[in-house]
């Protein structure tokens, strides 16, 4: 009897150990999954492009899509509309279409129009709500950029106009709520920048870090009361940049707190409706 009871106890203990081990493995797997999820999220400094080649090959992490073709444009479709992914034409004055095959164009995908030095003038219609990372990177011939105001919230991705050396003046409509990291960095000729106001009562525009990095000729940055955050105000110190903004704006407060040159100017009428 004692011998049989001992075997039963051994089996029970073995089963218990296996169950404990199973629970431990499950917990470890859950922890590893969480670590993988958070370490793989986008937008950290380590994820930012560091070389010219990396800057123009950044792509959205999205499921594979069917690439379609119409005229000089390659594009894909999703539930929002049409996203342009490349251009094969030779126009020097490029007007981005508001529709392709009767469907709304809402996005210029990452690097979609990069490395086109032949562009001299570029017009982006108001229905575009997403200008992707490195979208116009290296388009050194652009001298005139027109971004039309829209009615929906829009963003400009990082490095979008990096090394557009011909640009001297840029105006961003008020419905654009985010200008990401280094959007206009290395634009050697840039002298004047303006971000227009929108109709929201609270500041809702956000400027990323190093937006004007290595823009040696830039002297005027006009910001409205809609600007609520400047990621790297230290980047404006010890430069020729003067911030122009309404007296009670966040931009002027940040300028005062960080010893950045500033000038008070009157608020203007909002552009774009949200």
Structural domain contains residue 274: no
Those residues whose C-beta lies under 8 Å from the C-beta of residue 199, and which sit 6 or more positions away, are: 174, 270, 272, 273, 274
Dmax (CA) for the chain in angstroms is 98
83 and 215: one domain? yes
- Separation CA 89–CA 119 (nearest Å): 10
- Domain identity same for 225 and 95: yes
Please give the residue range of the domain that contains residue 34. 1-42
Give me the number of domains the chain comprises: 2
Instruction: Output 40 or 256, whichever has higher pLDDT.
Output: 256
CATH code of the domain in which 171 resides: 3.80.10.10
Do residues 38 and 90 share a domain?
A: no
Instruction: Kindly state whether residue 194 falls inside one of the protein's structural domains.
Output: yes
Q: What percent of the chain has pLDDT over 70?
A: 75
> Same domain, yes or no, for 135 and 191?
yes
The predicted structure's pLDDT at residue 234: 80
Shared domain check, 115 and 9: no
Task: Count each helix (H run) and each strand (E run) in the chain, helices first.
Answer: 3, 18
With H, G, I as helix, E, B as strand and everything else as coil, classify residue 103: strand
Q: Are residues 156 and 27 both part of a single domain?
A: no
- Whether 36 and 74 share a structural domain: no
Q: For the ranges 13-22, 31-40, 78-87, which has the lowest average pLDDT?
A: 31-40
Q: Is residue 270 part of a domain?
A: no
pLDDT of residue 170: 98
Parallel, antiparallel, or unpaired: how do β-strands 144-147 and 130-131 relate? unpaired
Residues with Cβ within 8 Å of residue 23, at least 6 apart in sequence? none
Q: Is 166 helix (H, G, I), strand (E, B) or coil?
A: coil
Environment class of 50 (CB within 10 Å of its CB; exposed 0-12, middle 13-18, buried 19+): exposed
Binning pLDDT at 50, 70 and 90, where does residue 238 land? low
Domain membership of residue 52 (yes or no) is no
59 within domain boundaries: no
pLDDT > 50? residue 45: no
Please tell me whether residues 8 and 135 are part of one structural domain.
Answer: no
The confidence band for 65, taking pLDDT boundaries of 50, 70 and 90, is: confident
90 shares its domain with 160: yes
- Report the run of H or E that residue 201 belongs to, with start and end: none
**Percent of the chain residues past pLDDT 90, beyond the cut:** 69
Q: pLDDT tier at 55 (50, 70, 90 boundaries)?
A: very low
Q: Are 114 and 90 in contact (CB under 8 A)?
A: no
207 lies in some domain: yes
Confidence band for 109, pLDDT divided at 50, 70 and 90: very high
**Mean pLDDT across 86-114:** 97
248 domain-assigned: yes
**The Cα angle at residue 62 between residues 211 and 56, in degrees rounded to 5:** 40
Confidence of residue 32 (pLDDT cuts 50, 70, 90): low
Residues 38 and 92 in one domain: no
- Does 272 reside within a domain? no
CA 109 to chain centre: 11
Q: Is the Cβ–Cβ distance between 260 and 254 less than 8 Å?
A: yes
**Is residue 54 over pLDDT 60?**
no
Beta 205-207 vs 68-70: how paired, if at all? unpaired
Whether residues 16 and 126 fall in one domain = no
Statement: residue 224 has pLDDT above 70? yes
pLDDT of residue 30: 45
Q: Let me know whether 27 and 120 are in one domain.
A: no
Q: Does 196 score more than 60 pLDDT?
A: yes
């Amino acid at each position: 009897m004692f011998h049989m009871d001992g075997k039963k106890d051994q089996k029970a203990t073995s089963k218990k150990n296996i169950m404990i081990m199973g629970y431990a493995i499950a917990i470890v797997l859950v922890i590893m999954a969480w670590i993988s999820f958070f370490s793989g999220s986008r937008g950290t400094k380590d994820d930012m492009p560091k070389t010219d080649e990396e800057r123009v090959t950044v792509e959205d992490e999205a499921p594979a899509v069917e690439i379609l073709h119409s005229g000089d444009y390659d594009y894909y479709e999703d539930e929002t509309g049409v996203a342009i992914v490349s251009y094969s034409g030779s126009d020097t004055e490029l007007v981005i279409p508001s529709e392709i095959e009767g469907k709304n164009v809402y996005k210029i995908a990452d690097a979609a129009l990069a490395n086109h030095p032949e562009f001299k003038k570029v017009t982006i219609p108001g229905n575009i709500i997403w200008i992707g990372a490195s979208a116009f990177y290296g388009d050194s011939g652009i001298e005139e950029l027109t971004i039309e105001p829209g009615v929906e919230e829009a963003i400009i991705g990082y490095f979008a106009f990096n090394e557009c050396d011909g640009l001297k003046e840029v105006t961003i409509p008020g419905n654009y709520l985010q200008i990401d990291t280094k959007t206009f960095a290395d634009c050697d000729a840039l002298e004047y920048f303006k971000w227009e106001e929108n109709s929201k009562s609270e500041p809702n525009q956000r400027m990323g870090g190093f937006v004007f990095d290595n823009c040696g000729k830039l002297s005027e940055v006009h910001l409205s009361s809609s600007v609520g955050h400047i990621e790297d105000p230290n980047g404006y110190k010890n430069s020729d940049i003067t911030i122009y903004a309404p007296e009670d704006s966040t931009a002027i407060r940040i300028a005062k707190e960080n010893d950045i040159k500033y000038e008070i100017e009157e608020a203007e009428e909002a552009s774009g409706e949200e």
